[in-house]
Amino acid sequence: MKTDVLVVGSLNFDILIKQSRLPFIGETFNGEDLYQMPGGKGGNQAVQCARLGLNVRMVGCVGEDLFGQELIKSLEENHISCFDIKQCGASGLGLVQILQDGNYCSTIIKGANYHLDVRDIKDDFFADAPLVILQSEIPENVVKKVVDRARHHNCIILLNNAPARFIEDEMLSKVDFLVINETEASFMLGYQVNTPEDAFKAAATLKGRVRKSVIITLGEKGSVVISDEVNNHFPAVKCDNVVDATGAGDSYIGALSYGIIKNLPLAESIRFASEVSAYSVQNYGGQGSFPTLEKLQAFPEYS
């Protein structure tokens, strides 16, 4: 099978608790509902790509436990190649608290994700992969090696620096698309990024460090894009039924990747990504909330 997208990244099993507010220090607080489902930024982005019809190859590590089995099962059910996922130790976990307005906070247990090693990255991964997607939930030296080998093979590189960590300019200079949210942009630049105006300033600074494009997502405030072909603020798609923003950024990246593979103009890809992520926030969880092309009736031309 031809590979459209190679995703090298994290696989976490998510435990989501719906609750009215966060507890105070020392307080025992009753949650309302519990959801358990496969997640992790790498797995989520891979699933959204696959649900939009792309052929996806996943490289990562899960635990030798029931969580690991469920993570692989979800990928296989979405027709993702899992031959390069190894099993070692205990699976990574995501503990997510979902509030009434759909916002969330999460704590990640790295687990098996940090058993992924540079020796697991093979040159043949990149030979037929036009697009490589990475995040920052796996070891830094693994990300660096993937970027180096992908650049050597002239792959398009999309880096989602989440959770944010320091990245040397040498590595950033090999990245085609840097996609981050306002919190990650704030970390990378050392000042608060809250508004579209802040994001324009941040994206303009970061644009000089990457090959093509910087995209900063701002949740309900939309996204800001600076590239050689686009310099614009894209409003978020209006959504009256937000229940859970978990995985919305991953859904956005999966849809953006679809646009890249289909050679759509960047502005059109961004609008499509906004529509897809808006769909995802209307359902609980990450992967289970991600739409297929058939469900995106607002975009029948992509079906």
CA 59, CA 88: separation in Å to the nearest integer? 14
CA 92, CA 79: separation in Å to the nearest integer? 22
CA 296, CA 51: separation in Å to the nearest integer? 11
Say which residue the tokens 């970027």 belong to: 147
CA 191, CA 137: separation in Å to the nearest integer? 23
Q: Is 148 known to be catalytic? A: no
Cis peptide before 300 (omega within 30 of 0): no
Angle between helix axes 41-51 and 66-77 (nearest 10 degrees) is 20
Q: With contact defined as beta carbons under 8 Å apart, do 198 and 192 qualify? A: yes
CA 281, CA 225: separation in Å to the nearest integer? 22
The SS3 of residue 130 is coil
Q: With contact defined as beta carbons under 8 Å apart, do 120 and 86 qualify? A: yes
Contact partners, residue 26, CB within 8 Å, separation at least 6: none
Exposed, middle or buried, 8 (CB in 10 Å: 0-12/13-18/19+)? Answer: buried
| Residues carrying an active site annotation | 250
